[in-house]
Structure 1
Amino acid sequence: MANRRTKATTIALGLACAPFLCCWIIIASCCCPRRLHPHGESGEKRRFEKRQTMAPRPLPVRPPERALTMRRRTAEPESEVQPQTPRGVTRNQSASRLMQLPLELRQIIYRAAIGDSVMHMVTKKYKLGHQRCKAPTIAECPEQYSFFSPDNVWSPLGEPLDNPPATDGDILPLLLTCRQIYSESIEYLYSTNTFSFSDLDCLRYFSSTILPHRWSLVQNIDIEWCISWPIYDPLAQALLISRPALYPPHDEATWEGTWRIIGQMPSLKWLRVRLMYFDGFRDSACEEKLLAPLRQVTLPRTFTVHLNWAGEEIEGAPFRAIRPGTRESLFPDEEWA
């Protein structure tokens, strides 16, 4: 008799809970159907691990005697102690017609050759690359300039991944001509160009694969980033089956770490961020958490954040938020006046 009552109770509870369970499955499958697949997280995990194996390695510490940049001349007398076996030899370049020009003219040539452009930074296998934008200004640069494969390997639009065109071939030859040209021109590469990123990992790799004093020269940064659901949405993350909810670089830790790097850039003067989210945030508190790391960046004179979703006006921030339908979004060219 007791067993019959237990079975009846179990059946009654099952019938009562069945509608709620069905509703949860329907809502979860509509929001993120791939999350409900039994092996949905394995694909994301494999892509993350493959990205890690192809990631560029941080720049090793270079001994002082192997520095490519020539030391600046000072009024102090040279030391009488000379190294017995110098690691590098700097030859006299006075016969070069370029070196016969005054330094001021050479600097103008260097800047015209490798500066004042938009450099689209891309992640390739085990290294970074760049492609100089063909648009006259970054304001005229077309959207979706390039795309990445699931493994974060760059490929231009319309080109196969197996044979992408070469990158970074228009700047390095000049820098590698000789040590004097490298020393006189290298600062223009970092201080006058605008570096554009469409991947957070690419920006982080760039900051760790160049010398710190070169990174400190960067003044202009442009970021375009597609936000992945359900970032900064604890309720949605709690309903997901997969753990973790997001893999780097789409997770909160990578997002916050990226802005710590940007916040420590000493020479940053211009910063534009374009954020895209499929349907905006259901809760304004989630948006506040997303934009909170940006509030620590206070140095740039021009700091704009373009959001592709509607929302309330953001007050007390060091940046100017531009949403769809605002005057700034209708007349974007005024930003570059």
Structure 2
Amino acid sequence: MTNRRTKVTTIALGLACAPFLCCWIIIASCCCPRRLRPHGESGDKRRFEKRQTMAPRPLPVRPPERALTLRRRNEEAENEAKPQKPRGVVRDQSTSRLMQLPLELRQMIYRAALGDSVMHMVLKKHKLGHQRCKASTIAECSEQYSFFSPDNVWSPLGEPLDDPPATDGNILPLLLTCRQMQVPTTRRQLNSTNNARYSESIDYLYSTNTFSFSDLDCLRYFSATILPQRWSLVQNLDIEWCISWPIYDPLAQALLISRPALYPPHDEATWEGTWHIISNMSSLKWLRVRLMYFDGFRDPGCEEKLLAPMRQVALPKTFNVHLNWSGEEIEDAPFRAFRPGTRESLFPDEDWV
């Protein structure tokens, strides 16, 4: 008797809930058919795990001194009396035609060879790479990231991922040619490996170029795999990010069967960590962010949660954010927002670099 009552109750509940479930499926299929796909399917997990195995190795907490890096002048007096391990031989380059030029001319050569370009940063197998944009400015760049694999790892069309072509932009050969980019003034400086300076050219690579990212992990790896003092030289950033549903939508995430709802780098933690890194950049002067979301945020509260980490950044003189969905005007923000159909979007007056 008890089993019969339980079955009757279950059937009654099913009949009562069926209309609501059918209505939800119909509305979802009409308004947002792409959302019916289980977002946390095994394919997302496999892509995340593969990216983890291919991630570049970050620098240690206290990175060792590199053989190609020369000391600053203010470090000479501090380390003169301390025994130091040899860091390579600094040879006399006074006979070099380049070193015989005045410093101002050498700096112009370094900047022309290494700087004033757009560098599209890409994630490769166990390391990062970059492609030097053929356009002279980021405004003229029409770069399409069609050469990425489904894991968003750089792989040129028709080329196997295990043997991709070089992506150094013909920049590294100049930097690897010689450690000594400034002629020593005394014989004592020439013979000592501890009294040399940083090269004259390396700073132009980071301070004058615009670094473009279409992957949040790539930006995070870049900041973690170069020396902190060089990361602090970066002045221009361009970020393009395709937002994945259901980011910052707790109701939608609760309805999903999969856990987690989003895998890095498409989750909230990666997004917030990226802006924590950007907010601590001491030399940032120009920043452009392009955010793409296939149907936008229906809840203004979710959009505000997405934009909240960006409000930590207050240093850049030019900070523009392009949103591909409509919405209300954003007030009290350190950035200028551009939305479709607005005057700012139709007639932007950005300061391009």
TM normalised by structure 2 equals: 0.86
Work out whether 1:32 is the aligned partner of 2:38. Answer: no
Contact 2:132/2:169 (8 A) holds in 1: no
1:251-290 to 2 correspondences below 5 Å: 251-290=267-306
1:233-252 to 2 correspondences below 5 Å: 233-252=249-268
Paired with 1:78 and 1:284, the residues of 2 have a C-alpha distance of: 56
Contact 1:139/1:333 (8 A) holds in 2: no
1:166-181 to 2 correspondences below 5 Å: 166-181=166-181
The 1:76/1:198 distance shift into structure 2, 3 A limit, reads closer
1:155-194 to 2 correspondences below 5 Å: 155-156=155-156, 158-162=157-161, 164-181=164-181, 183-194=199-210
Identity %: 83
How many matched pairs? 332
Give the aligned residue type for 2:317.
R
Work out whether 1:63 is the aligned partner of 2:64. Answer: yes
1:128-167 to 2 correspondences below 5 Å: 128-156=128-156, 158-162=157-161, 164-167=164-167
Which of 273, 295, 313 pairs up with 2:329? 313
Paired with 1:18 and 1:85, the residues of 2 have a C-alpha distance of: 76
Paired with 1:2 and 1:205, the residues of 2 have a C-alpha distance of: 62
Contact 1:201/1:249 (8 A) holds in 2: yes
Work out whether 1:298 is the aligned partner of 2:299. Answer: no
Where 2:22 maps in the other structure, the secondary structure is helix
Paired with 1:77 and 1:292, the residues of 2 have a C-alpha distance of: 46
Q: For each residue in 1:121-146, what CA deviation from the matched residue of structure 2 results, as whole angstroms up to 9, or x when unmatched?
A: 00000000000000121001015244
Work out whether 1:108 is the aligned partner of 2:111. Answer: no
The 1:149/1:75 distance shift into structure 2, 3 A limit, reads closer
Work out whether 1:21 is the aligned partner of 2:21. Answer: yes
Residue 229 of structure 2: aligned partner: 213
Contact 2:138/2:352 (8 A) holds in 1: no
Contact 2:244/2:266 (8 A) holds in 1: yes
Paired with 2:224 and 2:84, the residues of 1 have a C-alpha distance of: 33
Paired with 1:9 and 1:85, the residues of 2 have a C-alpha distance of: 81
Give the aligned residue type for 2:346.
L
Contact 2:118/2:132 (8 A) holds in 1: yes
Paired with 1:132 and 1:249, the residues of 2 have a C-alpha distance of: 24
Contact 1:41/1:243 (8 A) holds in 2: no
Contact 1:146/1:154 (8 A) holds in 2: no
Residue 90 of structure 2: aligned partner: 90
The 1:55/1:14 distance shift into structure 2, 3 A limit, reads same
Q: Compute the displacement of 1:83 (Å).
A: 4.8
Structure showing greater relative contact order (alpha-carbon pairs closer than 8 Å, 6 or more residues apart): 2
Give the aligned residue type for 1:32.
R
Where 2:68 maps in the other structure, the secondary structure is coil
Q: Compute the displacement of 1:159 (Å).
A: 4.4
When structure 1 is superposed on structure 2, of 295-304 and 83-92 the one drifting more is 83-92
Residue 200 of structure 1: aligned partner: 216
Work out whether 1:50 is the aligned partner of 2:50. Answer: yes
Q: For each residue in 1:256-302, what CA deviation from the matched residue of structure 2 results, as whole angstroms up to 9, or x when unmatched?
A: 00000000000000000000000100100000000000000000000
Paired with 1:296 and 1:266, the residues of 2 have a C-alpha distance of: 13
Ranges in structure 1 where 5+ consecutive residues have no aligned partner:
none
- CA RMSD, Structure 1 to Structure 2 (Å): 2.5
Contact 1:200/1:255 (8 A) holds in 2: yes
Where 2:37 maps in the other structure, the secondary structure is helix
Contact 2:320/2:336 (8 A) holds in 1: yes
Paired with 1:147 and 1:16, the residues of 2 have a C-alpha distance of: 51
Give the aligned residue type for 1:105.
L
Where 2:239 maps in the other structure, the secondary structure is strand
Contact 1:303/1:320 (8 A) holds in 2: yes
Contact 2:318/2:351 (8 A) holds in 1: no
Contact 2:116/2:209 (8 A) holds in 1: yes
Where 1:318 maps in the other structure, the secondary structure is coil
Where 2:326 maps in the other structure, the secondary structure is coil
Ranges in structure 2 where 5+ consecutive residues have no aligned partner:
182-197
Paired with 2:12 and 2:311, the residues of 1 have a C-alpha distance of: 53
Where 1:183 maps in the other structure, the secondary structure is coil
Paired with 2:212 and 2:293, the residues of 1 have a C-alpha distance of: 19
